[in-house]
Amino acid sequence: MKRVLLSALFRQPAAFAGRRVTVAGWVHSLRRSKAVAFAVLRDGSSLTPLQVVLSPALENYDAVASLGVGSAVVVTGEIVLTPDAPQPLECRAETVEIEGAAPPDYPLQKKRHTLEYLRTLPHLRPRANTYQAAFRLRSAAALAIHRFFAERGFCYIHTPILTASDAEGAGAMFRVTTLDPADLPRDAAGNVDYRADFFGKRASLTVSGQLEGECMALALGNVYTFGPTFRAERSNTPRHAAEFWMIEPEIAFADLEDDMELAEEMLRDVLRRLLDECADELAFFETHFSPGLCDRLRAAADTPFARVTYTEAVRLLEDSGKDFVYPVFWGCDLQTEHERYLTEEVFKKPVFVTDYPREIKAFYMRQNDDGRTVAAMDLLAPGIGEIIGGSQREERLDLLEARMRELGMRVEDYRWYLDLRRYGGVRHAGFGLGFERLLLYVTGLPNIRDVLPFPRTPGSIS
Ligand code: 4AD
Ligand code: MG
């Protein structure tokens, strides 16, 4: 079947005027009067639905005109321009093939459903407008990111999902094993003996492709990964998922300043592309979820981001007169409430916070000369808080090794990582952009569960 997508019809209505086309989709609503019936059809390619005029002359008119919401049909008919109607065109059906009828218990009847209700139907909710828009935007954003890096000569690499190392040293990893939990092999000390496991040692799902990204950057120069990432954090917040996607560039011969420049250029470029290519979807999110969204995104795309050191940020928070739930002091980890105050009330745009205390950051970050901070940066965005975390990496073998020992890490397990410093080591830096955090920022949707097709969060894997 050669079907025309609704997106193509609405992109160039005049090109289809008077032409006979085949379209296929799901009935969004159906209105029947004595002489004629109207079906509103969606096919997932565009926010604008197609009105199909059903005349009693249709061979199966009675069956078609009594179809329920959600039924799947293939329609062949003539496209007629309708300059006086809200939609630019309609289709006068000549044949309607009922591909799959939906009975009246179809859970997504025409009324507006809450996102909470729709989340209970992960298999059907992609048919709701909001999710079609969210998932189309997700696809466009992924492509925009790939184009950004491709145009700058970055090599797109694939880092492993199964790993034996904890890239963040935070221990929030999902264990992967083929051992029988009811019959675990144990060593003399009574600990699980992973030598009998599939890989011969303890394995997990990756929390970040960074360490492997560093290996690749120190060979290929500028690289990025874009892949699934897993964190077994018990954070039940609207911004944390157990499975999310992360974009991680790693650049050689580069410092923190280069890293921030890249992050800002990438984000603003992606925003510009989305404003251009997903204008309908963004207008939809503005109307239904986030007043002023498009202007905010346009301003972010057009204006340089702000910058502040952690030390200054703490001072701003202390002087804010705000009654934060979590106390603010030099050395504290910034909480979402602090991040949002900085980006929404102080700077009113995305802001990089730099040079965090070493104690609250990962082992691989480059130590600053002050002895107490590291060359780290987080990018905070209004409405969300942290969307990017990055740093310059510690390239000095002695300092890195000392820091790992200080943190009680098993240095033997990271020999390969230290080799990168031992053989032709260079200044390098990188960051991780949480893809769903970006999508929350761009759509104004309230919850990470709304931008992931099948969200995995603590206690939930439907
Ligand atoms: O700040 P994070 O932990 O940094 C890293 O993983 C570095 N290794 C990245 C790098 O330098 N290559 O995570 C990076 C970003 C965060 O800023 C956030 O946007 C997102 O990943 N993120 C999550 N997104 C959804 N759910 C979670 N549980 C997330 N944890 C982190
Ligand atoms: Mg972080």
pLDDT reported for residue 108? 93
Among all bound ligands, the one having the nearest atom to the CA of 239 is 1
Measured by CA distance, the residue closest to atom 18 of ligand 1 is: 434
Confidence category of residue 112, pLDDT binned at 50, 70, 90: confident
Nearest CA to ligand 1 atom 17: 388
Ligand 1 centroid to Cα of residue 55, in Å, is 55
The whole-number pLDDT of residue 109 equals 87
Give the distance (Å) from ligand 2 centre to CA of residue 376: 10
Q: Are 89 and 81 in contact (CB under 8 A)?
A: yes
Q: List, for residues 420-442, the tens digit of each pLDDT value.
A: 999 999 999 999 999 999 999 99
Ligand 1 pocket mutation pick from 206, 216, 244, 246 by most atoms within 8 angstroms of CB: 246
Average pLDDT value for residue range 64-90: 96
Closest-lying ligand 1 atom to the alpha carbon of residue 207: 6
Q: What is the pLDDT of residue 166?
A: 84
**CA 110, 111, 117 angle in degrees (round to 5)?**
110
The protein residue whose alpha carbon is closest to atom 3 in ligand 1 is 389
What is the C-alpha separation between 361 and 39, in angstroms, rounded? 57
Give the Å distances, CA to CA, from 374 to 10, 368, 386, 426: 52, 5, 18, 17
Q: Whose CA is nearest to atom 23 of ligand 1?
A: 434
Beta strand ranges found along 101-208 (DSSP E): 155-156, 162-163, 175-176, 203-205
Q: What residues have CB less than 8 Å from 341, skipping those under 6 apart? A: 317, 320, 322, 324
What is the pLDDT, as a whole number, of residue 63? 96
In angstroms, what is the span from residue 299 Cα to ligand 1's centroid? 25
| Residue 369 CB partners (closer than 8 Å, separation 6+) | none
pLDDT band at 400 (very low <50, low <70, confident <90, very high): very high
DSSP string, 53-68: EE-TTSTTHHHHHTPP
Task: Tell me which residue has its CA closest to atom 31 in ligand 1.
Answer: 434
φ, ψ for residue 354, nearest 5 deg: -120, 165
pLDDT at position 375: 98
Which amino acid type is present at position 272? R
At 274, is the pLDDT very low, low, confident or very high (cuts 50, 70, 90)? very high
Helix, strand, coil shares, percent, the chain, to 5: 35, 25, 40
Each residue of 290-315: pLDDT tens digit?
999 999 999 999 999 999 999 999 99
Q: Cα of 244 to ligand 2 centre, how many Å? A: 14
* Lining residues, ligand 1, CB within 6 Å: 167-168, 208, 210, 231, 233, 240-241, 244, 246, 248, 386-391, 430-432, 434, 436-437
Does pLDDT of 209 surpass 90? Answer: yes
Distance (angstroms) between ligand 1 centre and the Cα of 357 equals 18
Of all protein residues, whose CA lies closest to atom 4 belonging to ligand 1? 389
First to last CA, the chain: 34
Helix (H, G, I), strand (E, B) or coil at 460: strand
Rounded CA Rg of the chain:
27
What atom of ligand 1 comes closest to residue 448's alpha carbon? 25
- Give the three-state DSSP class for 432: strand
Q: Which residue has the higher pLDDT, 452 or 169?
A: 452
User: Which atom of ligand 1 is nearest to 210's Cα?
Assistant: 12
Instruction: Say yes or no to pLDDT of 170 above 80.
Output: no
What mean pLDDT do residues 173-196 have? 94
Q: Which of 154, 157, 212, 244 to mutate to test the pocket of ligand 1 (most atoms within 8 A of CB)?
A: 244
Q: Please identify, by atom number, the ligand 1 atom nearest to the C-alpha of residue 248.
A: 12
Atom of ligand 1 nearest to the CA of 231: 28
Residue of 349, 280, 341, 282 lying closest to 314 (CA atoms): 341
pLDDT at 169: 75
Q: What's the mean pLDDT when you consider all of the chain? A: 96
- Expressed in angstroms and rounded, the spacing between residue 332 Cα and the centre of ligand 2 is 14
What confidence category does residue 371 fall into, taking pLDDT thresholds of 50, 70 and 90? very high
Nearest CA residue ID for atom 2, ligand 1? 389
Q: Are 164 and 204 in contact (CB under 8 A)?
A: yes
235: pLDDT confidence band, cut at 50, 70 and 90? confident
Our CA angle for 122, 240, 382, nearest 5°, is: 110
Residue 344 tokens read as 């929404």
Per DSSP, the three-state class of 409 is coil
Distance (Å) from CA 431 to ligand 1 centroid: 9
- CA-nearest residue, atom 9 of ligand 1: 432
Report the candidate in 87, 112, 104 with the shortest Cα–Cα distance to residue 9: 87
From 210, 260, 437, mutation site for ligand 1 pocket: most ligand atoms within 8 A of C-beta: 437
